[in-house]
Amino acid sequence: MSNIGKWVVDPMHSEVQFKVKHLVISTVTGTFKVFDGSLTTESEDFTNASIDFSLDVTSIDTNQTDRDNHLKSADFFDAEKFPVMKFISTAFTKSGDDYKLEGHLTIKDVTKPVTLDVEFGGTATDFYNQEKAGFEVTGKISRTAFGLTWNGVTEAGKIVVGDEIKLAINVQFTKQA
């Protein structure tokens, strides 16, 4: 089987997670439940693949409804005005057995270049004879660089929400016929 062609995200076997420090002492983990994307490649090893990924900001889930509602508000994502977060690749280059993914990330009305690490999990054919490819994408972004600037400070001077957001995206693509 050839890897060349178009692949689409299999949401049943993919997840988008993020982690952020809370009060500097603990970490809050969240997910986005609704997302979509594609990968198009002219290369057997996925080098120079073109990747397009978007997610529904209103699908944020930190396992705490009040916090989720605050994150959707104008204090953070302003989901009513900016319901979609987007990533469009500019480069996908081999780095040993894995890859470096560069592209433009848009959160709210701010677009910035980001570089992410990608671990290639391999390809396999499932029970339905569909070819699958798996990738684990990790990286860090600054939330304030994307206009997510809300913050609070406790009486003791502790910052409530950290600036660094750790991303952990496990994505499985299905090859299109």
Stretch 60-79: mean pLDDT: 92
Stretch 35-61: mean pLDDT: 96
**pLDDT for the residue 97:** 86
Stretch 84-104: mean pLDDT: 95
Say whether pLDDT at 154 is over 60: no
**Gyration radius (Cα) of the chain, Å:** 17
Tell me the CATH architecture of domain 5-175: Beta Barrel (2.40)
Stretch 144-149: mean pLDDT: 84
The length of the chain is 177
Stretch 31-42: mean pLDDT: 96
SS (H, E, C) 71-136: HHCCCCCCCCCCCEEEEEEEEEEEECCEEEEEEEEEECCEEEEEEEEEEEEEEEECCCCCEEEEEE
* Ranges of each domain in the chain: 5-175
Stretch 121-127: mean pLDDT: 93
| Mean of all residue pLDDT scores within the chain | 90
